[in-house]
Structure 1
Amino acid sequence: AGLGQFTKAYKADGSVRFDAIREMVVAHPELRGWSWGNAYDPRYQLTAVVLKNRGNYQLIRWAAADADRLAMMDAAYNSGLGGVIQRRRKCANTSGCQPGVWFGNLE
């Protein structure tokens, strides 16, 4: 939904696999009141984008340089922090790969 493309995904049985809006509301009191009923409210959307990126940026402490950290933050926003961590782990176990460097390594 909206500018930040927050999503809700379902399992084959119809149960919720993940609900990005709900996760953000639980984690950030400033988003209290945001729901799928008002998912397109830009005030909530833009606040959520900033909070999500800030959280990912703060967690990515292993980056070699600011540009790497920002690139990892963007990737975490798009594919999840877990995906970036998996890339880092794979890189760390690959000869010549630098796990703190995005471009040409984790990329």
Structure 2
Amino acid sequence: MKELTTYFTNKDIIFKQINETSPKELGSRKKIKIYNATCVESKYYAIFIVDSKSRFIRKNADDLMTLCDKLSEHLGHNFKKKILLVSSPLCSKAKLYLQDNKWSVYSDFM
């Protein structure tokens, strides 16, 4: 979690609250870290961290969007910002698909 706060502090985003949600709570078996956070300006963030060796492809983007919908349903509110932090190679079609659906994608984490 320290890496996460340091990463966003470098991007001038300061969180006042960060909570982790396990994928098991959402009915998923994926190896992904899920955080919901509130920044100082009272914007709600859904942060997904994917750390895998294989390429992040369009199918993974569909699964991620489904997981985000389940998170919104689980916590009872929609998120202003949706962020994907990925350390593996990223398919350009998956990145474009997520950006078209108002996601922020960063591949420089870790």
Higher RCO, Cα 8 Å, sep 6+? 2
- More helix as a share of residues: 1
- More strand as a share of residues: 2
Computing the radius of gyration from Cα coordinates, the structure with the larger value is 1
Q: Same fold, TM exceeding 0.5?
A: no
Normalising by structure 2, report the TM-score. 0.28
